[in-house]
Structure 1
Amino acid sequence: MAKKVVLLFAGQGAQKVGMGKDLAEANPKAKALFDRADEVLGFKLSEVMFEGPMEELTRTSRCQPALYVQGLALLEVLREKMPDLEVAACAGLSLGEFTAHAAAGTFDFETGLKLVHQRGTFMEEACEATEGGMAAMIGGEESAVRELAAECHVDVANLNAPGQIVLSGGVEGIKAAVAGAKDKGIRKAVELPVAGAYHSRLMKPAQDKLAKVLETVELKLSEIPVISNFEADAVTSEIVIKNTLERQVTGSVRWSESMQLLLNGGYDTFLELGPDGTLAGLMGRIQKGVDITTLKDAASVDAYVAAANG
C-alpha cells in the first residue's frame, strides 16, 4: 500500500544522548550512514550521539550534524521497510531544512553533512564572540511581540505556532523583553537555555561564512517540494535554495506559516523524523487533528510500518 507523506525534520534542541544508537545496532544501512559520517567529519560523531556527554552533544557544531544524520538514518530504515513510501514534500525546522533538502535529493548525504557541520561551527563561533540569548513568548499577539522586539532591539527568531514566538538577541535586550512582556499582553515569557542568539543579527558573521561555502556547493532543484523557513514557501530554483539557506541563519523561522502552506495545499499526512516529538506538538497548536506521527527510533519505525500494513 503506497503512502504519500510529508517528511518533517527536527531542529536544534531536539538532540538526546543515545539518539540513533538502536538504529545502528538494528540496521546495517543505518550503521553504514553513521560510519560514513564519522569518516567524512574526521571525528567520532556517532560516539557523541550514542554515548554523550550531553554537554558535547549540545555544542552547535555537534548537534547540527547529529540531528542531520539521525533524521536521514531514520528515513533510510523507513524506506527499506516501506519501499512504496511516496514523499509528497519535505520541510525541516531551522537546521532540519538541510536534512529536508538531503531527503528530497537537493544534494547528497556527504555534501549536506559537510554543510551542516560548517554551519554549526560558524554559529558556535558567533555564539562565543557575542553575548546573546533567546526567550519564548507564550500566548501573545504577533503584533505585540514584534512591537516588544523592536523596542528591546532584539529579533523575532521563530514563529513556531500561534501564540508561540521566540525572540533572539543581546542578553540585555532579551532580559528587557522578558520583563516587558506582560505589559504587551503576553501571557508568559521564558528565557531559553541556549548558547547564543540564533536567528538574530548577532549571527551575521556565521551567515557571511556560510554564504561563501554555499557558493561552492553543487545542488539541484528536487522534484519533491522543499519548504523554506525563510520564505514559508517552496523553493523554486538553485539560486533560491542557496539564498534561503544563507538568509535563514539570521532570519526568522516561519514554521507556523510553512505548515499552514502545506495544510492549505491539501497535504494531510505528516511524519516527523527526529529524537523527540517537538514538531508534532507544534502541529497540534497550528491545526488540531492533523495526521502526524513521530519516528524517533527503530521501535517507532517498526510500529508505523506495521500499522501502515494493517
Structure 2
Amino acid sequence: MTTQTAEKIAFLFPGQGSQAVGMGKDIYLNSIAAREVFDEIDNTLGRKLSTMMFEGPDDELRQTENTQPAIMATSVATWRAMEEATGVLQIPNATAGHSLGEYSALAVAGVLSISDAVKLVLERGRLMQGACEERPGGMAAFIGLDEVTAEEICRESGAQMSTINTEQQIILAGDHHSLAMAIDIASARGAKKAIPLQVGGAFHSGLMSPAQNGLNAMIDSLTFHDPLVPLVGNVTAKSLGTTEEVKEELRMQLTSCVQWNNTVKFMMNDGIQNFYEIGHGRILSGMVKRIDRAATVTNIGDFASVLAYASAS
C-alpha cells in the first residue's frame, strides 16, 4: 500500500563520497525486503558486492566499479526497508539524487528496475573511468565563492562548473593545469577555502565527453518508464515527467553541472520543507540546512532510523 501525507516531503539520495565499510549491514540483517535488494544486486553483478560492503577492505570498496553500485544498493535497500516497516509507504511530493544518487532516485521512482539501474551505473562508471584515462583532470571545492565569481574564474582558467551544492559551496572541474590556475585565482578573489578533491577525474565536465556515446547507447538499450514519483533533475533542476525527459537528463548529467542548490530550491518553492536523506551518511542533510536553515532534514541510513520513521508515520 502507498499513501501521501498532507505535509509535503521529499526523498533525497546521496552520491559518491558517502560510502563506508559496514554501510547497510544492519538493514540487511534486520529487513527481509532490504536483503532481497542486496541479493538482487549481487546476482546482477555476478559477485558478492554485499560482502565487500559489509566487511571491506576499504580500498576495494573505494574503487568506482564497487563504490557506485554499493551506494545505490544501500539507498534502495533502505527505502525498501522503510516500505516494509511501515506497510504503508508515503509517496513523496518529490525525489532527487545528487549525481550518482540520481540513479537511486530512478529506481525508487519506478523509472528503471533495480537490475537495470545497477547495469547502467556499472557501465557509466566503466565509461567514466575510460574518459578519466583519456582526458585526465580533477576537481576542487570552493567555499565562500559565489556563482558569478566562479563563472569568471572558469572563463579565465579554462575550468568548468561541475557542481553547485549551495550558494557558498561550488565545485569546479578541469584538466590539472586549468584547475591549479582556478585555485590560484579563487584564493586571490577571496575564496575562504579551495580544496582539491581526491577523485579520479573531472566529473560533470566536458572532459567526460569520451564516455558520451557509450552512455547514450546503454541508456537506449534499457526499458524506461515514466516516473511514478515526481523526480527533480540534477541538470534542469525541474520536474522530469516523461521517459524522454529522464533519458535526456541522464545524457546531459555526464558532462553538465549538477545544479543541486537549484534542485533543492525548486522543491522548497513547491512548498516542501521536510526532507529525508535515504542512504549512508549526512552529506545532503548538511547541504539542505545550509540552503535553508528552516528546513527539517532527517537521515535514514540504519535500521534504527528506519524504525523511527515507521513509528512516526
Structure 1: give runs of 5+ residues left out of the alignment. none
- Counterpart CA distance in 2 for 1:173 and 1:2 is 48
Amino acid at match of 1:152: S
Matched, 1:272 2:250: no
Give the 3-state SS of the residue equivalent to 2:280 in structure 1: coil
Matched, 1:80 2:92: no
- Report deviation, 1:80: 0.9
Alignment of 1:210-289 (within 5 A): 210-289=215-294
Matched, 1:123 2:128: yes
Report the counterpart of residue 42 of structure 2 in structure 1: 38
- Counterpart CA distance in 2 for 1:141 and 1:7 is 27
Is 1:144–1:185's contact at 8 Å kept on the other side of the alignment? no
Is 1:59–1:124's contact at 8 Å kept on the other side of the alignment? no
Matched, 1:98 2:103: yes
- Report deviation, 1:227: 0.6
Is 1:133–1:169's contact at 8 Å kept on the other side of the alignment? yes
Is 1:61–1:124's contact at 8 Å kept on the other side of the alignment? no
- Counterpart CA distance in 1 for 2:274 and 2:257 is 25
Amino acid at match of 2:306: V
Change (3 A) 1:2 1:224: closer
Report the counterpart of residue 59 of structure 1 in structure 2: 63
- Counterpart CA distance in 2 for 1:140 and 1:175 is 16
- Counterpart CA distance in 2 for 1:231 and 1:217 is 22
User: Which residue of the other structure, out of 139, 150, 166, is the alignment partner of 2:144?
Assistant: 139
Q: 1:137-158: per-residue Cα shift (whole Å, max 9, x none)?
A: 1101211111111211111000
User: Which residue of the other structure, out of 157, 175, 196, is the alignment partner of 2:162?
Assistant: 157
- Counterpart CA distance in 2 for 1:191 and 1:128 is 19
Give the 3-state SS of the residue equivalent to 2:52 in structure 1: helix
- Report deviation, 1:226: 0.3
- Counterpart CA distance in 1 for 2:205 and 2:4 is 41
Alignment of 1:181-196 (within 5 A): 181-196=186-201
Question: What is the count of residue pairs matched by the alignment?
Answer: 308
- Counterpart CA distance in 1 for 2:58 and 2:207 is 25
- Counterpart CA distance in 2 for 1:237 and 1:5 is 21
Report the counterpart of residue 29 of structure 1 in structure 2: 33
Is 2:227–2:242's contact at 8 Å kept on the other side of the alignment? no
- Report deviation, 1:130: 3.0
TM-score (norm 2): 0.94
- Report deviation, 1:131: 2.1
Give the 3-state SS of the residue equivalent to 1:181 in structure 2: helix
- Counterpart CA distance in 2 for 1:109 and 1:184 is 45
- Counterpart CA distance in 2 for 1:54 and 1:297 is 19
Change (3 A) 1:223 1:25: closer
- Report deviation, 1:20: 1.1
Is 1:62–1:120's contact at 8 Å kept on the other side of the alignment? no
Amino acid at match of 1:149: C
- Counterpart CA distance in 2 for 1:24 and 1:239 is 34
Give the 3-state SS of the residue equivalent to 1:149 in structure 2: helix
Is 2:37–2:73's contact at 8 Å kept on the other side of the alignment? yes
Give the 3-state SS of the residue equivalent to 2:10 in structure 1: strand
Name the % identity. Answer: 37
Is 1:148–1:184's contact at 8 Å kept on the other side of the alignment? no
- Counterpart CA distance in 2 for 1:103 and 1:61 is 21
Structure 2: give runs of 5+ residues left out of the alignment. none
